[in-house]
Amino acid sequence: MRHLRGLCVLVLIATAAACAPHPARAEPAMWIVRDHDSEMVLFGSMHLLPPGLSWRPAALDSALAEADDLWFELPVDPATEQEAARLAMRLGVLPPGPGLYERLPEESRLRLGRLAVTYGLPPNLLDQLKPWFAEVLLITSMVGAQGGDIAHGVEQQISATAPVGVRREALETIEDQLSAFDDVPLEAQLASLVYNLRAMEEDPEAFDRLVAIWMAADLAALEAEALEPLKALAPDLYQALIVERNADWLAQLQDRLAGSGRTVVVVGAGHLVGEVGLPQRLRALGYEVEGP
């Protein structure tokens, strides 16, 4: 997993491989944030998962049963999925000029071609895409080839089983999310793609290790092998996709905690670890935070 960097890491902290090991009696981490009249549960997500993986902590189900509101990064519904596809094709296409293959060094061009064939992505389509979109398509195709599916992911499973009366909220729109990817300078996107084309060929087991880390609630490993390398290789990506989004979400969660009641918040696992993670930032603001 030490080969994974850049956008690949960001996608991986929100996805998982289908054939990952199932750790015995392991559960992903969760946190409980309290003030005098509010309780907020934070749970880190993997957006794609294999069928049959037993990941749900009993404490999470108990919190959902009592929740007044349930927050995701995005609305979990077919309309959002359709809008995501439409916006990705608008934002993720290169302007007229050199295609993606021409912008890559020769070795990376060859890797991109091989991976496109392996995962059934038309090379002509990839050539028209910005590096961030090509990378996301390759990673999700790789996970999908191993059986990972959004239908088994955390958000879909929680949304499908949450109490009917719980109020649904979203921290951002799909345009907010995709614009965060798209606003990163092209040079940083290319650096990430170059590195991760190599990683996807040479270290495919990294997917398995990542889901094991998530299931084991090994937050130090997640930060050390995902976020820290991302920060070092592509600081623009780290700032836009982790730091800035966390800051925006933190303000919204503070507004919710200013009210009263019980809340469950489900976001990508990488947004909950380290000094810029939501639990630590809430602790720094003086909230009582129970958890790792």
Total domain count, the chain: 1
Helix ranges (DSSP H) in the chain: 6-12, 58-66, 78-91, 100-103, 106-118, 123-127, 131-145, 154-161, 174-182, 186-202, 206-215, 219-222, 228-233, 235-238, 244-257, 278-284
In a domain, 1, yes or no: no
Is there a contact between 157 and 62 (Cβ–Cβ < 8 Å)?
no
Tens digits of pLDDT across the chain (292 residues): 333 333 433 444 443 333 333 444 478 999 999 999 999 999 999 888 888 889 999 999 999 999 999 999 999 999 999 999 999 999 999 999 999 999 999 999 999 999 999 999 999 999 999 999 999 999 889 888 877 778 888 999 999 999 999 999 999 999 999 999 999 999 989 988 998 899 889 887 777 788 889 999 999 998 987 788 778 878 888 899 999 999 999 999 999 999 999 999 999 999 999 999 999 999 999 999 999 9
In a domain, 32, yes or no: yes
Distance between CA atoms of residues 170 and 73, nearest Å: 5
Full domain range(s) for residue 65:
6-290
In a domain, 25, yes or no: yes
In a domain, 95, yes or no: yes
- Sort 121 into a burial class: Cβ within 10 Å, 0-12 / 13-18 / 19+: middle
SS3 22: coil
Position 138 scores a pLDDT of 94
pTM attached to this predicted model: 0.88
Is there a contact between 135 and 7 (Cβ–Cβ < 8 Å)?
yes
